[in-house]
Amino acid sequence: MLRNKITAGLTGVMLMITVLLAGCGTEHQFIIGTQTFTETKILAEMYKALIEDRTDIKVKVIPDLASSTVVLNAIKNDDVQLGTLYSGEIFNNHFPIEETKDRDRVLRQAKEGFHKYWGLKWFDSLGFENTYAFTVRKDLADEKGYKQISDISKDAADLRLGVDTTWLERTDVGYPAFRKAYQYKFGKSYPMEQSLVYQAVGNNQVDIVVAYSTDSRLKAYNLITLEDDKQFFPPYDASPVMREDALRQHPEAAKAIEVLIGSIDVNTMINLNYQVDMEKKSEREVALQYLQDKGLLSKK
């Protein structure tokens, strides 16, 4: 996921994992690691509930690992056996890749590359991606008929763009590359902290922002995501990722979580994140309720 390329503090985080694992004893045979953001914690609680419901395996969740890179290395080093990662991870120079933004081809390279070079099982997508997204207020989208990013080209010179400061300067998926891909620029650009863009557009201080596609604040501020019709942003489809030796040892664990593959669309993930972030429910409560509502838990 694009917000998650920070690798600083890896040694300290691995030390934290070691300490946590030392306190686990032998009861916990299976460890799930999560990043710091909400959806990975909800998904981890789903994995845990499904595995414990359908097998005899005891599961431990270790939350708040600093980044996807830390989670990936923790899985590689067998500090954890399972996590949620995003197909765009292939762009972080883990192995040779074909440059493409096609979702299916990116996912295929993640599956093949992490198997070949890392010994990891990269599952098919859970059904949603978490990537950059251009977002506008629903009232503006309805008034102007905006559905795709290309739709706003006729009005772009009059629109105020709110965006994370670094995005304005990034050469790969930032503003300069965007202008070249979509052939227009906005009237004014306002750089700000990423956490402020949702409030800014919701309060009509700007007209359009670059947001994250599963952020709960999209629902909180009644925002609409525009289709990236030129496939400018790289895909970041979410998938469970498991060590292959853990899969061989516990194939029943993989089978337990496979019921989630392809079943969670982007709006569902936004709503689940909203329940935690805005309604202040716990990740476990939200995960269990979702699984129960879908009839995926058998044990009482």
**DSSP sequence for 84-125:** EEEGGGGGGSSS-------HHHHHHHHHHHHHHHH-EEEPPP
**C-alpha dihedral sign at 217, 223, 224, 225:** negative
Q: Are residues 156 and 106 in the same domain?
A: no
* Assigned domain for 298 exists: no
* Assigned domain for 81 exists: yes
Tally of structural domains, the chain:
2
Final residue belonging to a domain, choices 192, 225, 258: 225
**Would residue 25 be called left, alpha or beta, if left means φ above 0 and alpha means ψ between -120 and 50 degrees?**
left
Q: Are residues 90 and 57 in the same domain?
A: yes
Final residue belonging to a domain, choices 181, 203, 225: 225
**Domain of residue 163, CATH code:** 3.40.190.120
Inter-residue contact 60 to 68 (CB < 8 Å)? no
* Assigned domain for 79 exists: yes
pLDDT of residue 195: 87
Q: CA end-to-end span of the chain, whole Å?
A: 35
E strands within the chain? Answer: 30-33, 59-62, 82-86, 120-122, 132-137, 160-164, 188-192, 208-212, 223-225, 238-243
Query: In sequence order, what are the residues at sequence separation of 6 or more whose Cβ sits closer than 8 angstroms to the Cβ of residue 294?
Result: 263
Residue ranges making up the domain that contains 37: 10-129+235-293
Inter-residue contact 161 to 211 (CB < 8 Å)? no
Q: Are residues 121 and 159 in the same domain?
A: no
* Assigned domain for 5 exists: no
Please tell me the total number of residues recorded for the chain in this structure.
300
Nearest to 226 by CA among 297, 288, 120, 151: 151
Q: Are residues 177 and 28 in the same domain?
A: no
**Domain of residue 115, CATH code:** 3.40.190.10
* Assigned domain for 1 exists: no
* Assigned domain for 75 exists: yes
Tell me how far apart the alpha carbons of residues 98 and 151 are, in angstroms, rounded to a whole number.
30
Q: C-alpha 159: how far from its chain's center?
A: 28
Inter-residue contact 34 to 70 (CB < 8 Å)? no
pLDDT by position in tens, the chain (length 300):
554 443 434 444 443 444 444 444 445 579 999 999 999 999 999 999 999 999 999 999 999 998 999 999 999 999 999 999 999 999 999 999 999 999 999 999 999 999 999 999 999 999 999 999 999 999 999 999 999 999 999 999 999 999 998 898 888 889 999 999 999 999 999 999 988 999 999 999 999 999 999 999 999 999 999 999 999 999 999 999 999 999 999 999 999 999 999 999 999 999 999 999 999 999 999 999 999 999 999 864
Q: Are residues 115 and 144 in the same domain?
A: no
Q: Are residues 256 and 124 in the same domain?
A: yes
* Assigned domain for 3 exists: no
Q: Are residues 46 and 185 in the same domain?
A: no
HSE toward the beta carbon, residue 66, CA cutoff 13 A = 16
pLDDT of residue 156: 97
Q: Are residues 24 and 125 in the same domain?
A: yes
CA dihedral 201, 147, 215, 102 (to 10 degrees): -130
Q: Are residues 15 and 106 in the same domain?
A: yes
Q: Are residues 191 and 259 in the same domain?
A: no
Q: Are residues 86 and 157 in the same domain?
A: no
Nearest to 2 by CA among 151, 194, 224, 285: 194
pLDDT of residue 19: 41
Q: Are residues 181 and 214 in the same domain?
A: yes
Nearest to 133 by CA among 86, 193, 178, 69: 178
Final residue belonging to a domain, choices 201, 225, 249: 225
* Assigned domain for 38 exists: yes
